[in-house]
Amino acid sequence: MTDVRSRTECRPAPLPGPRGPLSAAVADSLRGMERRDLPLLPADAYDDDLQLALYTLYELHYQGFEGVPDEREWDPELLALRAVLEERFLDVLRADVPVGASDSAERALDELQLEPVGDGSGSLSHFLRNHGTLDQFREYAALRSLYHLKEADPHAWVIPRLRGRAKAAMVAVEFDEFGAGRADEIHAELFADLMRDLGLDPSYGYYVDAAPAEALATVNMMSLFGLHRALRGALVGHFAAVEVTSSPASRRLADALRRMDAGPAAVRFYTEHVEADAVHEQVVRHEVVAGLLASEPRLDADVVFGVRATGHLEDRLAARLLEAWRDGRTALRTG
């Protein structure tokens, strides 16, 4: 991977390169080109073309794109297309992670605390700690930047949809994620420091074109859950899954970076999450999730869905990266 140092100016990312007729049509529309009939949707909801089109539409609600007017965020035709893509994505997620009548959020979160049997060969953090190279970690960080450079942003959308205990606790955790009032401690900024330490470009959205569909899908899922009030239970489940699994995985990733002699800023990002997320896990489980279900018990199945959908997409991404690395190939898209 080519070393690229930070660009200090803050500006929207350029539109990503299309991966098929659907993402090309979205990009053309955002460039102000004459609208044309949209192509048929790909049969596979996890397809690169569909996931990139959805990612592009979601980014209008974050930082936007260079040369695209802010008003396009609420373009009725784009919103209508986004709804169609969301429905396809959500239907496939629900089919892949069905929730049974006997399932509960408590049980789903308990399952996340079970460590993998054996050497954790299907786990990215285990692989990077035990076998990974610095180049492989740099690829991992480049792909994770799509999430970590907007860390906690989509979860903030759920705050006005919560009440009482759940709202108070969610705000407390988000306050930590956003640096507890210090700009240099915002977790997204700490990840940008990690990227600089690893010789990566920390510009927002810089590595979108290198990200396979599996990486885009993990980000699209949290945007989907965050933007819809009806999916507030799923968003809380997603957030809980992230916090429950973060501390042990972050410890392994910090160990990996020490073994690779990475710089202090790279190591610090994960050591910070070992400590912070161990506390966050308890707050999220016992105040955010429990508080939500105390006031809205009917959302229990939605929380379970959010937990399991998160695991499902993370497993798909891990399989993609580990297959490439074990074959001696890059995990990044190269064309």
For 83-114, b/e burial (b = at least 16 CB within 10 A) is: eebbebbbeebeeebebeeebebeebbeebee
Position 119 pLDDT exceeds 70: no
**Can you give the pLDDT at residue 5?**
40
Q: What is the mean pLDDT of residues 271-292?
A: 89
Position 197 pLDDT exceeds 90: yes
How do residues 251-277 score in pLDDT, each as one tens digit? 999 999 999 999 999 999 999 888 777
Residues 6+ apart with CB under 8 A from 26: 53, 56, 57, 78, 81
Confidence band, pLDDT 50/70/90 cuts, at residue 77: very high
Q: What does each C-alpha distance from 287 to 49, 173, 242, 284 come to in angstroms?
A: 39, 11, 16, 6
Q: What is the mean pLDDT of residues 271-293?
A: 90
Please say whether the structural domain 105-326 has been given the CATH code 1.20.910.10.
Answer: yes
Domain residue ranges of the chain, discontinuous segments joined by +: 21-96, 105-326
In DSSP terms, which residues pair with 50 in a beta bridge? none
Position 4 pLDDT exceeds 80: no
**Can you give the pLDDT at residue 38?**
76
Q: What does each C-alpha distance from 254 to 146, 204, 272 come to in angstroms?
A: 20, 23, 10
Q: Which of 101-110, 170-179, 277-286 has the lowest mean pLDDT?
A: 277-286
Locate the DSSP E strands across the chain.
Answer: none
Among candidates 41, 79, 77, 38, which has minimal Cα distance to 60? 79
Bigger pLDDT: 10 vs 211: 211
Residue 13, phi then psi, degrees to nearest 5: -75, 155
Position 163 pLDDT exceeds 80: yes
Confidence band, pLDDT 50/70/90 cuts, at residue 8: very low
Angstrom distance (rounded) from CA 271 to CA 277? 10
**Can you give the pLDDT at residue 120?**
60
pTM, two decimal places: 0.94
Mean pLDDT of the residues in the chain = 93
Q: What is the mean pLDDT of residues 313-326?
A: 97
